[in-house]
Every structure is written in structure tokens, then in C-alpha cells.
Structure 1
């Protein structure tokens, strides 16, 4: 293996953190495995594989986030056994250190993942990344309810029918199923709920909000977008023949990014991913995943859940928008044989527009 191999660089960095980050503290691989695993310690061989510069294994994003959190504060090693603090327990200064180290490690991982990767041993959880909301929080996924005109005559969506299934009344159901399972997997200590916009309670609005679907049917998405200063506006469709689009305001005027149809068939949608502060609770976030059509919404969701793309897309977001209080991406979502393809945000042609709020 070349000495310049990015996998070796990542392995060397992880070893240097353990052995030299705090020269006065000795940290063994066993102690680190114990801290990372909590009640179920990781194997020492797993830590060793990540530090092995001769034949390194690339850790998943979630484990690199654990490194960043652990080495952000000496409180991790104040008592034995050493411990991994929750993100919510860190001070503002510790969070800044953690975020900087996280960005560094994820960039190294992105470079390492570009080459051959040795599969990790043991069971690993999905990458956390932007779908991790800290411990002991409430996350509410909000879908639109399908319009009454689309439900009329469909017995499975009729509460009076013996065959009634509530989920048949939800819009963007494929995106909901994809995202709900992923958020549950990377937030095991959190309450994760999904509801239609009509079902929200006042307490739901002040939780971490994840909004699926656009302004045509999801009035919560429409309301939240009206409350943030964003140069991106979704143009609602006036009827089924109207394809709408996303307008971007700039000094040069207004640019419209619209879906592509070929003889009435959707071949390319436009999706929008936004993350910012929840305007109803400054300590919580709002995330919007929407498209002009359902396949655009699904594509945006899969950008950060699809196991083949989520790590590189997460690393791109960290590198491009790290520490920004709010940001958004307009993305192409290609549709092939009726199926939405996961966008790769590391490809410039996939990104139609990027925006970030100045943190100053």
C-alpha cells in the first residue's frame, strides 16, 4: 500500500488521536472500544482494524462521529471506564471542537472511500450524519394528506370501510417508509413519530421537524418556507397539466428549475433539501425534503439514506456547509423506467443551486 494512500492517512489519524491527543492520558484500544460501545462494548479487533495502516478498514460515519465527540472534551476521560458523552451534554466550545474534528475525519473518510475499502467486521449501524438528532429528542416526520378528490371511491382510504388503512391517506408514502426506518435506526434513544400535517399538535411543532412533500399539499412545508429567508421558492402547480418548478432569486433575476417530461412521462424531477433552525424552537431543527413530484421527494430522501451514496453526500454537506445555521440544495433527480435514482451530490451537474446562511 502506498504511503500516500488515503486509507492509511485516516488510520494514522485515528491512532494519533488515541495515543497523542492528550499526551498526559493513556488510552488503550480496549478503553476506546468500551467507551464507544456503552453497555455493549465494541471488539478491540474492530478498533485495531481502523488503526491498522498496513490493511486499514474504513469506519462508518457514525463511528467517526463518536471519535469526534470523544476527543472534543477531556470529560470523556475524567472517570474510568472512559465514556462517550451525548452531543447535548457538550458545551458550546466543546461542540465547536467536535464539529471541526468531525469535518476533518469525514473528509478523510470521503477520500479513503474513493479507493478499495475493506469491509468492517461485526454489525454496524447505518451512518448517522445529518439524520442524527442527538440523544433523547423527539423527531416528528410530517407528510401531507392526499386530497379528498384522490381518495374518493377508494375503500382502503375510507375510515368507514372495514378495509381502512390510515397510511393509504398519506402522500409521499415511499419517502416516508424510506426515511422513518433510517431515522429510527440512527436515533435509538429518540422518539420518532410520523403524522399528516392535519394531525400535528402544538408540541409537535417545537420538536425536530422533518417535512416531506411540497407546497401543493403539505401546508406545513408551505408555512415554514414562508417563515425563512430563502432565495428558493417552490412554484405550486395550478392543475395536473402544470409542472411547476423552483424559482431562485439572484442579482441577475429569477431562474426557474423545472421537472422534465417526455410525452407525458416524468424523466427528471427537481428536489429540494433544506436544513435550518426550527422557527418555533431555536434549539431544534427543521428539515425539508420536497420535489415537484413524489419521485423528487424520494430522491432527496435517498441522497442521505441510500447506503451506496449517503456517506459521500453527508461528507459533501459537511465540507460545503459545515457550521452554517441554515443551508439548502436544489438537486436533479433522474427518473429511469419510472424509478427515482439517488442523486450524487459530489457531481456538480447534479446540484442545480446551493445556498447557505451566513453564520456571522
Structure 2
């Protein structure tokens, strides 16, 4: 085994050693770690694999260090990660030492992994391999994009199809998001047909592809039907009298749903958006269980753009995609309600590894789980 190979597997071997041998009289199972870390069993197993090891992010290693810093992490067979404030001074010292060790091993594993990748010809890499926007070769993809209301379409240049300079894309809203996502889908899926549709133009075959609902498509009869059939706990509420503009509402079984509003400054003609709220959902297409349904929505157009960029921006897409895999594992459907910061005219790509950015998360486990 080469030095690079040893470095890539050292972290996985150490994580397995902690689970099996940390306390000689108490063997921890992967199922208990799954319970404590709130991740999938497959993910725990991948972190311990010496054949195809996945490298955990720092916040997961911090949980490992905290868990194995004290035997109080196990009570009557129940596994938990104690808050750092509950640890004794000796346990805190142990936690810091373990975290430092695991961080070092992670750094060495990443260095070895990057070294191995750099030795490959760039043409042989698949940079989209683990991205949620990558689908199996040849499977069709349909983007259903939001549409400008009829009264707004009459104000744009050449609104009639009979005009000499008519441009069909003018009828879509969220053009920034559409331009960004369409290009990414074409690049990530070069052997798939990527079709753009407005709700009024949908055809029968469009419903059985990988569906992407993009933008403020809530008022469309077609897309409203799709949302009702998947029964999400999050819904977009339009502006109402007495309310501070539109908002997302989260229902989790309580009497009072949580509300998440965008943030503004100023008023009237001088109002400016400081922070939007956006929604990302991935699940099974209700019209074809072998295809997916994805929703990218926001209170405003820049929220839609931000949630699209979360998985297309080359500086954040791999990190956010890794977070989705680690957080939701093999869930059949999941969603994130996220903040999208606006600085001047610029939309800041949300980093889902930051707790502050994520407003709400939800997932549905696979059948029988």
C-alpha cells in the first residue's frame, strides 16, 4: 500500500477503531452512531470504508470527538451527542485532543485524495458526478419555469407571437435562474434531452421526465396539483392584508405554524430587499417513480436564483451537495428552507453547512425504514 493510500484510509480506520475499541467493555454499533448523529446508516458505513471511503466534513468529526470524549454518550443503550457545555473539564480536554487528531487525519486524507486526482487527465474527470443535478445518462429532464402574468407580458417589447422580433423567453419570469440552471443541466447531462416548458405549454411526456419546478409557479393549476400530491410541510403564502408581505409557512404538527419572512429596508418606491427566503425540494416524481421532482422557489426572483446557485456555483456546489448527502442519506424526499442574502445588487450563494443559513429541514425516510 502506497503512502497516499494509507493516508486516504487512515481516517476511516481510526473512526472504526473508535467505534469498536474506544471502550473495551462497550462496543458501539453503526446504528447507535446513526441515532446520535442523525444521519443514514449508509453514510456512517461510507466513513469507515477502507475501499471507497467518504471523507466526513469537519462538523461531523466534531460530533465524533464529542461523542467519544465521554461514556455518558451512551445511556441504557441510547446514543446521544452531549452539548459541549455539559462536558466536564477532563472530557473537554479529551474532546479537543480527539477533534485535533481527526482533523489532522482528514487533512492528510484530502491531500492524498487531491494528489490522486491531479495525476488523472482532466478530460477523464466527471466534476458533476455527485451533484444532485446529474441524472442517469439519456433520461429526459423538463424545466417548468414560472411565467409572467398576462398583464405584465403586454408591457415588454414584442409581446405578440405575430411580431417580427417576438422572443418566446420573454414570457418567463426568473430568467436569471433559468439561464443559470439550464446551462448547468446541459453541461451535467450531455446525453439527456433538457426541455423548457411554461405551465401553459406542458405536454403528456413532460410529466414523466425528471421534473424541475423553477420559480414562482405556485398559482399554476398543474404545479399546484403536483405540490398537493407530495404533501410538503412547507408552503408559500402570498401577501395578505395586515401581513408584512409574503412568507413561507412551516407546519410540523403544532397549533401555530412557523413563518419565515424576507427582510427589507425602506418603503414604497425606495424599498430594498436585504434577505430573501428560498425553498429547495427533491423527491420522487409522483407521475413516474423512476424519475425525480425538484422544486426551486423563493419569495422573490433573487431567492430563486440563490437556491439554484447553491448547487451550480463552482465554489459552493460540491460543499452543498456533500451536505445534502450527509444530512439526508437515502431519504426518498427532502427539503431545505434557506436564507439568501442580498448585498447591493448581488445575490450571495447560500452555504448550507452553516446553521444560520438553514431555516428548516425535512426529510422522508425510505419505505420500511
CA distance in 2 between counterparts of 1:335 and 1:125 reads 32
What TM-score does the superposition give when structure 2 sets the normalisation length?
A: 0.66
Per-residue deviation, residues 182-239 of structure 1 (Å, max 9, x unmatched): 1111112211111111111011011110110134455443222111122111112359
Pair 1:250–1:126, CA change in 2 (3 A):
same
The within-5 A match list for 1:168-317 is 168-237=170-239, 243-252=245-254, 253-263=256-266, 264-317=271-324
The structural deviation recorded for 1:278 is: 0.7
Pair 1:273–1:291, CA change in 2 (3 A):
same
CA distance in 1 between counterparts of 2:223 and 2:48 reads 29
* 1:267–1:338 contact (8 Å) kept in structure 2: no
The structural deviation recorded for 1:269 is: 0.5
CA distance in 2 between counterparts of 1:193 and 1:99 reads 37
CA distance in 1 between counterparts of 2:179 and 2:53 reads 27
2:157 aligned to 155, 158, 164, which one? 155
CA distance in 1 between counterparts of 2:9 and 2:186 reads 29
* 2:43–2:326 contact (8 Å) kept in structure 1: no
CA distance in 1 between counterparts of 2:189 and 2:43 reads 19
CA distance in 1 between counterparts of 2:177 and 2:53 reads 26
Unaligned ranges ≥5, structure 1: 14-95
Other-structure match for 2:349: 342
CA distance in 2 between counterparts of 1:97 and 1:269 reads 34
Deviates more, 1:157-166 or 1:264-273: 157-166
SS in 1 for 2:55: helix
Other-structure match for 1:328: 335
Pair 1:334–1:179, CA change in 2 (3 A):
same
The structural deviation recorded for 1:151 is: 1.2
CA distance in 2 between counterparts of 1:149 and 1:106 reads 55
The within-5 A match list for 1:37-76 is none
Per-residue deviation, residues 285-333 of structure 1 (Å, max 9, x unmatched): 1000000101111111110000000001000000000110010000000
SS in 2 for 1:301: helix
CA distance in 1 between counterparts of 2:309 and 2:47 reads 22
Deviates more, 1:186-195 or 1:305-314: 186-195
The within-5 A match list for 1:22-101 is 101=46
Deviates more, 1:322-331 or 1:142-151: 142-151
SS in 2 for 1:161: coil
CA distance in 2 between counterparts of 1:154 and 1:268 reads 28
Q: Which has the larger radius of gyration?
A: 2
The structural deviation recorded for 1:103 is: 11
CA distance in 2 between counterparts of 1:103 and 1:185 reads 33
Aligned residues: 274
2:128 aligned with 1:127: yes
Per-residue deviation, residues 64-86 of structure 1 (Å, max 9, x unmatched): xxxxxxxxxxxxxxxxxxxxxxx
SS in 1 for 2:356: helix
What TM-score does the superposition give when structure 1 sets the normalisation length?
A: 0.68
The structural deviation recorded for 1:8 is: 3.7
CA distance in 2 between counterparts of 1:197 and 1:270 reads 23
* 2:145–2:196 contact (8 Å) kept in structure 1: yes
Unaligned ranges ≥5, structure 2: 13-40, 59-105
